[in-house]
Amino acid sequence: MKNILSSSAFIVLNKHLARQIGLKETILLADLISKEEYFISKGMTDGWFFNTEPNIEKDTTLSAYQQRKAIKTLKTKGIIETKRMGVPAKQFFKINEQQVVKFLNNKSDKKQTTINNNKQIKINNKFNKPKIEDVKVYCLERKNNIDAEMFIDHYESNGWKVGKNKMKDWKASIRTWEKRSYKKPTTSKLDSQINEYLKAKDLIK
């Protein structure tokens, strides 16, 4: 659970959680979870870890005032605990994972999430014509001896259609051409007659 909220090079936010506890609070929590994971990797076992206001501001851009306000909210909601320890005293944090899960599973903001229910999401399946270099590279990879220029010219002339339908995958068409080129060539009637004549001639000898 925590790895989907943690931050390292990025700040990963859960929108469902942000709607319930606030954006700045969610940003701070993500940073604290990331810091917690760091201390766990260093052997921390009791759940307590420290972080400083300057370091949090560097990672999140939250000012000291914004941090204190967000910490107060997170403590009020039971998501984190804090205490000062050490010499000099440092701010230590402990994250209540069960409380985070509780908020993630809370469906109280269902009305807010239905705003897009009536919108139809369309997947963009737009076909992008390949460049001749792309075709050449793919044909070289497959060692199929297909003429890339002939392939491009053929489909340019018919509007990039396979039969009556628009092409969806040019690589699949390349593979179809391969299968056709591998078929045993048919022998014409004339060729058959010549072959029979040559065989008969060899027998006479």
pLDDT-derived band of residue 135, with 50, 70 and 90 as boundaries?
very high
Q: Which pTM value belongs to this model?
A: 0.48
- Classify residue 94: in a domain, yes or no: yes
Q: Among candidates 68, 75, 79, which has minimal Cα distance to 14? A: 79
Q: Based on the fold, state whether residues 143 and 172 are members of the same structural domain.
A: yes
User: pLDDT tens for residues 73-103?
Assistant: 999 999 999 999 888 889 999 999 989 888 8
137-173: pLDDT as tens digits: 999 998 898 999 999 999 999 999 988 899 999 999 9
Of residues 48 and 199, the one with the higher pLDDT is 48
Co-location of 130 and 104 in the same domain = no
**What is the C-alpha separation between 105 and 108, in angstroms, rounded?**
9
d(CA 21, CA 2): 16
pLDDT, position 111: 46
Could you tell me if 102 and 131 lie in one domain?
no
**Are residues 84 and 158 part of one domain?**
no
Rounded Cα gap, residues 13 and 27, in angstroms: 7
**Over the stretch 1-20, which tens digit does the pLDDT of each residue have?**
555 555 455 677 788 888 88
Q: How many domains would you assign to the chain? A: 2
We report the CATH number of the domain holding residue 9 as 1.10.10
pLDDT at residue 115, as a whole number? 44
H/E/C letters for each residue in 120-179? CCCCCCCCCCCCHHHHHHHHHHHCCCCCHHHHHHHHHHCCCEECCEECCCHHHHHHHHHH
Residue 178 scores a pLDDT above 70: yes
pLDDT band at 113 (very low <50, low <70, confident <90, very high): very low
Q: How far apart are CA 162 and CA 198, in angstroms?
A: 43
Whether residue 112 is predicted with pLDDT greater than 50 in this model: the reply is no
Decide if 174 is inside a domain: yes
Structure token pair of residue 190: 């004339």
Q: Label residue 192 by pLDDT band (50, 70, 90).
A: low
Same domain, 23 and 105: yes
- CA–CA dist 151, 131 (Å, integer): 11
Residue 56 banded pLDDT, cuts 50, 70, 90:
very high
If asked whether residues 7 and 83 sit together in one domain, one would say yes
Domain range for residue 71?
2-110
- Assess whether 14 and 105 both reside in one domain: yes
Cα(58)–Cα(31) distance, integer angstroms: 11
Co-location of 101 and 177 in the same domain: no
Instruction: Give the pLDDT band of residue 205 (cuts 50, 70, 90).
Output: low
- What span, in angstroms and rounded, lies between the C-alpha atoms of 153 and 132? 10
Position 70 in a domain = yes
Query: 38 and 65, same structural domain?
Result: yes
User: Is 6 found in the same domain as 106?
Assistant: yes
Residue 7 has a pLDDT of 47
**Strand 161-162 relative to strand 165-166: parallel, antiparallel, unpaired?**
antiparallel
pLDDT reported for residue 204: 61
* pLDDT at res. 45: 87
- On average, the pLDDT of the chain sits at 82
Whether 161 and 74 map to the same domain: the answer is no
Alpha helices by DSSP H, the chain? 15-21, 23-41, 53-60, 64-76, 97-105, 110-113, 132-142, 148-157, 170-181, 189-204
